[in-house]
Amino acid sequence: MTGKKMSKAVFLDRDGVINPPVYNPVTAEYESPHYTEDYSIYPMVLKALRMLMDDNYRLFIVSNQPSYAKGKVPLENIKAIENILSEYLHENGIIIDKYYYCYHHPDGIVAEYSGHCKCRKPGTLFLEDAIDRFDLDAKECWFAGDRDTDVKCGKAMGMRTIQIKNKHVGDKAGKETPDGFATNIFEAAKKITGRE
């Protein structure tokens, strides 16, 4: 009991929240972007993240990126896209305390990244790491994502959750009950900061 104030944070899913998912003609599904040319960032991301920073929320990105494990794309492509995002946010004064990416997949074909892991959402390994490393109060934290696995992940750590509606999410949403819904990341930021 030091009386030291713990930090609060918002954990953000990436695909469908920060950037649009991209249509993959091979699988006929909207997926994480595989090529830098396909990567775009929603225009309201900066003002949303600034609003959260203004209210003293630490920011984390937690994303499952199994496409390399599944043999769909080289790992370098995935990392190049990550770099576009981190440079863009950095150049615009947004501080992401840590980017957490899981490259595993239970049914992967690349041995190194295949099988069960504890970091793939709804696994909570990354959240546990952030809570420990940054002395976060989970009850003051939020998880915002478009899939049920995001809601599940946040809830498992006792965080509040916002599900961001994404018309391409299909059956990956609809079975969990988040604390709130939002149409995009800006609306989510307004809910979290009580500005709506």
Per partner kind, with CB cut-offs from 5 to 8 A, the member of Mg ion, Zn ion, none near residue 102 is Zn ion
**Contacted by 120, from Mg ion, Zn ion, none: CB < 5 to 8 Å by type:** Zn ion
**Shortest distance, position 124 Cβ to Mg ion, whole Å:** 17
Alpha helices in the chain (DSSP H): 45-54, 75-91, 125-134, 148-156, 185-192
Q: How far apart are CA 147 and CA 169, in angstroms?
A: 7
**Could you give the 3-state DSSP secondary structure of residue 28?**
coil
Pick 8 or 120: Cβ nearer Zn ion: 120
Burial (CB < 10 A; 0-12, 13-18, 19+), residue 107, is exposed
Give me the least distance between CB of 138 and Mg ion, in Å please.
Answer: 21
CB of 31 to Zn ion, least distance (A): 17
**Contacting positions for Zn ion (CB under 5 A):** 102, 104, 117, 119-120
**Nearer to Mg ion among residue 7 and residue 30 (C-beta):** 30
Return the one option of Mg ion, Zn ion, none that residue 104 interacts with (CB less than 5 to 8 A, by type): Zn ion
User: Cβ 91 to Zn ion, closest distance in Å?
Assistant: 29
- Maximum distance among all Cα pairs of the chain, rounded to whole angstroms: 56
Q: Which is nearer to Zn ion, 67 or 188 (CB)?
A: 67
Our CB check for Zn ion shows the closer of 57 and 100 to be 100
58-75: buried (b, 16+ CB within 10 Å) or exposed (e) per residue?
bbbbbbbbbbbbbebbee
